[in-house]
Amino acid sequence: MAARSYGQYCGVTNAVELIGERWAMLIVRDLLVGPRRYTDLKRGLPRIPTNILSSRLRELQEGGVLRRVPLHNCGLVYELTPYGRALEPILLALGRWGFQTMGDPHEGDVVTADSLTMALRTSFQAERAADLDLELHVGDVALRVIVRSGALHVAQLAPAGPPGVAGPPSGEPEAIVVAGPGIRRLIGGEATPAEAVAQDHVAVVRGDERILDRFARTFHIAPLPLLGP
Amino acid sequence: MAARSYGQYCGVTNAVELIGERWAMLIVRDLLVGPRRYTDLKRGLPRIPTNILSSRLRELQEGGVLRRVPLHNCGLVYELTPYGRALEPILLALGRWGFQTMGDPHEGDVVTADSLTMALRTSFQAERAADLDLELHVGDVALRVIVRSGALHVAQLAPAGPPGVAGPPSGEPEAIVVAGPGIRRLIGGEATPAEAVAQDHVAVVRGDERILDRFARTFHIAPLPLLGP
DNA sequence: CCGGATCCGAATCGATACTG
DNA sequence: CAGTATCGATTCGGATCCGG
């Protein structure tokens, strides 16, 4: 038997053998946002060693989770197969689960464009969504977030995002929102928009501050009733 | 920063730091069936080294996923916290996902009572469920499977299962079904009940063979429309 | 710059033995 | 029963290097 096999004939075990290795889930998370080059993935996962990234991409390809696609001009991108895309609801649920106990960031923790994009998808409340068009800045990341007729669209703006994946959104956003990691409190319902602004977790640098009410209603992760004991 | 941290402030990342280490998900899988002693877990995960089991149990406890509960008479059990139980839908979805590409078992692969119990929960179709009461044998594992009014009850019978967790089910089952790993084909819809019997994947050693029709309707994992390319 | 491959020390994992 | 201790085998992390 393969030395490092779990040795069980079971669906969960097979899943974990496909995507349970270190970094694999985070690679899938980033690819759920869209196809990515090797270099994009490396930038989106700053602490991954390049040999591990190589190995994981090969293993995920062999497992049928992703494939390499040569680009017509030059280079290549990695993209999820339909089987890999079927992980989306699982990754979203895992993101909601992990959100509950995130606490404050550790020193050196970063927020990447892809992780913030997935966090927005994770917390998106299609039922209660209000129409919305804003620019969201967290650290170095800048996103254009548009909600229209119950659908969420996120585009990554120039600095440190693969450009041109979706064309530049048209028109001006209603507001520009600058936030820190404390935006978690707003999404988690720990803080009201007014409190989040008062405590400097979020600032509206252009536009009407009341957009935060719609934001908080649209992006929300309800706390679990019991987190202990 | 912690040397082995992913270095990202993100819900998925936090989740993976809590339950992404090797073996952790399988420990959670077994504990979703019920509280388990150290020795039960070791028997349910035959290839886990004991030092790893110890480490994982400590880490999962520190992460708030499980807790140790001393028993009144003697010994102790591990059980999921409410936060840990919130992983159930995620584990079930992961089991369905992994089921799609399970193939045939590798040499030495085993089926455990807890993994088979979770596989039944994974594939249970509450909507289409038919009433059912059977004894299911796969390898060394014997389960009493009862479906009544749309609810699934699984009890692990004597050999190699922690006894008395739920009292012995009353009465006699309608049928006794003996299966091998090829039961996957029946659940996945690759084989009809008649085909599964003809190819020796399943045998009804007592009772009416037509119980397999109800079984296949009740436990089913629809194949994904596209598994490639 | 892109897409890796190679090398090496550190940390983790796997197997077995042993203990209160 | 519920773990610790030990030790070799793997894997991971960090850095460098290389061919297009």
pLDDT in tens, B11-43: 999 999 999 999 999 999 999 999 999 999 999
How far apart are alpha carbons B15 and A224 in whole angstroms? 15
Beta bridge partners of A66: A80
Decide if A96 contacts B12 (C-beta within 8 A). Answer: no
- Tell me what pLDDT residue B160 has: 40
Residue B163 has pLDDT above 90, yes or no: no
Which has more pLDDT, B42 or B162? B42
**Residue A135 lies in domain:** 106-222
What value does the mean pLDDT take over residues A154-160?
81
- Tell me what pLDDT residue A55 has: 98
Q: Where a domain ends, among B86, B117, B142?
A: B86
Local confidence band at B74 (pLDDT 50, 70, 90 cut-offs): confident
Q: Mean of the per-residue pLDDT values for chain A? A: 94
Total structural domains within chain B: 2
Quote the DSSP letter at residue B167.
Answer: P
Residue in B with minimal Cα distance to A14: B98
SS3 B203: strand
Quick one: A69 and A113 in the same domain?
no
How far apart are alpha carbons A194 and A209 in whole angstroms? 9
How far apart are alpha carbons B2 and A218 in whole angstroms? 34
Residue in B with minimal Cα distance to A97: B15
* Chain C nucleotides near the protein (CB, 7 A): 1-7, 11-17
Could you read off the pLDDT of A75-115 as tens digits, one per residue?
A: 899 999 999 999 999 999 999 999 999 999 999 999 999 99
Local confidence band at B214 (pLDDT 50, 70, 90 cut-offs): very high
Quick one: A118 and A218 in the same domain?
yes
| Mutation for testing the B interface, residue in A1, A5, A9 having most B CBs under 10 Å | A9
How far apart are alpha carbons B153 and B134 in whole angstroms? 11
Decide if A93 contacts A219 (C-beta within 8 A). Answer: no
Does the CB of A5 sit below 7 A from strand C? no
Q: What is the spatial distance, in angstroms and rounded to an integer, between the CA atom of A55 and the C1' atom of D9?
A: 19
Decide if B115 contacts B29 (C-beta within 8 A). Answer: yes
A8–B contact, CB cutoff 8 A:
yes
How far apart are alpha carbons A31 and A11 in whole angstroms? 23
Does the CB of B108 sit below 7 A from strand C? no
What value does the mean pLDDT take over residues A219-225?
91
Residue B109 has pLDDT above 60, yes or no: yes
- Tell me what pLDDT residue B80 has: 98
Quick one: B214 and B162 in the same domain?
yes
- Tell me what pLDDT residue A226 has: 65
Quick one: B58 and B113 in the same domain?
no
How far apart are alpha carbons B201 and B191 in whole angstroms? 10
Which has more pLDDT, A80 or B167? A80
A95–B contact, CB cutoff 8 A:
yes
Does the CB of A177 sit below 7 A from strand C? no
Q: Nucleic chain C: which protein residues 17-76 of A have CB below 7 A from it?
A: 37-39, 49-51, 54, 57, 68, 75-76
Give the rounded distance of the alpha carbon of A158 from its chain centre: 17
- Tell me what pLDDT residue A130 has: 97
Quick one: A75 and A125 in the same domain?
no
Identify, with chain letter, the residue nearest to nucleotide D4 (CA–C1'): B51
Phi, then psi, of A12 in degrees rounded to 5? -60, -45
- Tell me what pLDDT residue A161 has: 40
User: Which of left, alpha, beta for A45 (phi over 0: left; psi -120 to 50: alpha)?
Assistant: beta
Give the rounded distance of the alpha carbon of A121 from its chain centre: 7
Give the rounded percent of residues in chain A with a pLDDT score beyond 70.
93
Residue B62 has pLDDT above 80, yes or no: yes
Q: What is the spatial distance, in angstroms and rounded to an integer, between the CA atom of A60 and the C1' atom of D19?
A: 25
CATH number at residue A169: 3.30.1050.10
Quick one: A161 and A205 in the same domain?
yes
Q: Looking at CA atoms only, how far is residue B163 from chain A in angstroms?
A: 22
In a domain, B137, yes or no: yes
Chain B residues touching A47 at Cβ < 8 A: 5-7
Phi, then psi, of A26 in degrees rounded to 5? -75, -30
What value does the mean pLDDT take over residues A153-168?
65
Chain B residues touching A229 at Cβ < 8 A: 67, 81
Torsion angle defined by CA atoms of residues B27, B30, B34 and B37, in that order, rounded to the nearest 10 degrees:
-60
Non-local (6+) Cβ contacts of A49 within 8 A are none
- Tell me what pLDDT residue A164 has: 44
What value does the mean pLDDT take over residues A42-68?
98
Q: Where a domain ends, among B38, B55, B86?
A: B86
Could you read off the pLDDT of A116-148 as tens digits, one per residue?
A: 999 999 999 999 999 999 999 999 999 999 999
In a domain, B101, yes or no: no
Q: Where a domain ends, among A86, A121, A139?
A: A86
- Tell me what pLDDT residue B73 has: 83
Give the residue from B81, B78, B82, B59 showing the smallest Cα distance to B69.
B78
Nucleotide nearest B54, CA–C1', reads D3
CB contact under 8 A, B98 and A25: no
Q: What is the spatial distance, in angstroms and rounded to an integer, between the CA atom of A39 and the C1' atom of C1?
A: 10
Which has more pLDDT, B161 or A198? A198
In a domain, B178, yes or no: yes
In a domain, A32, yes or no: yes
Structure tokens at A157: 């703006």
CATH number at residue B34: 1.10.10.10
Quick one: B131 and B210 in the same domain?
yes
Quick one: A115 and A59 in the same domain?
no
In a domain, A95, yes or no: no
Beta bridge partners of B137: B142, B178
Which has more pLDDT, B218 or A169? B218
Give the residue from B220, B185, B178, B218 showing the smallest Cα distance to B202.
B178
* Chain D nucleotides near the protein (CB, 7 A): 1-6, 10-16
Which has more pLDDT, A81 or A160? A81
In a domain, A61, yes or no: yes
Structure tokens at A167: 């064309």
How far apart are alpha carbons A11 and A114 in whole angstroms? 28
Local confidence band at B5 (pLDDT 50, 70, 90 cut-offs): very high
- Tell me what pLDDT residue A224 has: 83
Quick one: A125 and A175 in the same domain?
yes
Residue A229 has pLDDT above 60, yes or no: no
Decide if B186 contacts B136 (C-beta within 8 A). Answer: no
